[in-house]
Amino acid sequence: MKNIYFIGKEDLTIEDLEWIITGNIKVELSPEARERIQKCRDYLDQKMETETEPIYGITTGFGSLCNHTIPNDDLSTLQENLVKSHACSVGEEVTPLIVKLMFLLKAHALSLGYSGVQVATVQRMLDLFNNDILPIVYDKGSLGASGDLAPLANLFLPLIGVGDVFYKGQKRDISTVLDEFGWSPIRLKSKEGLALLNGTQFMSAHGVYAIMKAARLTQRADLIAALSLDAYDGHIEPFDERLHMIRPHPGQLETSRNIRRFLEGSEIITRKKKHLQDPYS
């Protein structure tokens, strides 16, 4: 199906991300990703039943509370409180495109099957993405190497039925949107809050967007250069591939190839020149 991308079927590339974002492509979990996620969740549930030693952040508190044991009845509440307490990013709202990239990058990371989340948790992320229900995330609050804890907490508040989203051109409370779709909030299980918040998808989304934008600008720069060369009645010989293979710099090779491609079929570029050297300053 050409209009569907299956998360977890193969490596996620920047080209994939741009195709999904710009082409309004729907995203689904691949069968193999579902199997991996469920297998890891089953392992963790089994571990919880047999493990007698404390497991940090799962059966204990966080940070200085690492020696505090959490009763089994409170394990879900612990994870939900973790998300709520860290949802404190501030500043300007990030663009919808960045939020979409965050969703895709996180869904891919979780699809690898090493995080212990529920299939339902990842599926709800994709449901929000596919229906253009975008959480409100602010641009300040990342802890850098420790992870994008605050932005990711804001991203995932709506999973548990809390926080604001942008939907159909309006800022809405997620609870009203969930009612429209007949969805119930996700009840996080042990470890899921940690799995959702630990990551660098906020920074990575900005990095991916910068690369996408740079690639488009580079392509347009090559097109402008080719049109300028034609307008100045310049020589095409300096862009011969054999010359650029001597270097050989990948970007230089690509630019020379683009200029030759853009000017293919031009009557101006192939005609005999009156001047020996093209103007360059």
| Kind and range of the H or E run holding 165 | strand 164-167
C-alpha distances in angstroms, 9 versus 28, 111, 199?
Answer: 10, 9, 21
**Count of all residues that appear for the chain in the document:** 281
Q: Residue 256: phi, psi to the nearest 5?
A: -65, -40
d(CA 58, CA 79): 8
Q: How many CB atoms lie within 10 A of CB 193?
A: 27
Q: How far apart are CA 35 and CA 12, in angstroms?
A: 18
Give the helix/strand (H/E) hosting 85: helix 75-86
Q: Is residue 56 flagged as an active site residue?
A: yes
What angle (nearest 5°) sits at the alpha carbon of residue 186, between those of residues 185 and 190? 145
Q: Is 97 exposed, middle or buried (0-12, 13-18, 19+ CB in 10 A)?
A: middle
φ and ψ at residue 138, rounded to 5 degrees: -105, 160
Determine contact, residues 171/61, Cβ cutoff 8 Å.
Answer: no
Strand partners, 7: 29
- Catalytic one of 56, 114, 209, 232: 56
Q: Which residues are catalytic?
A: 56
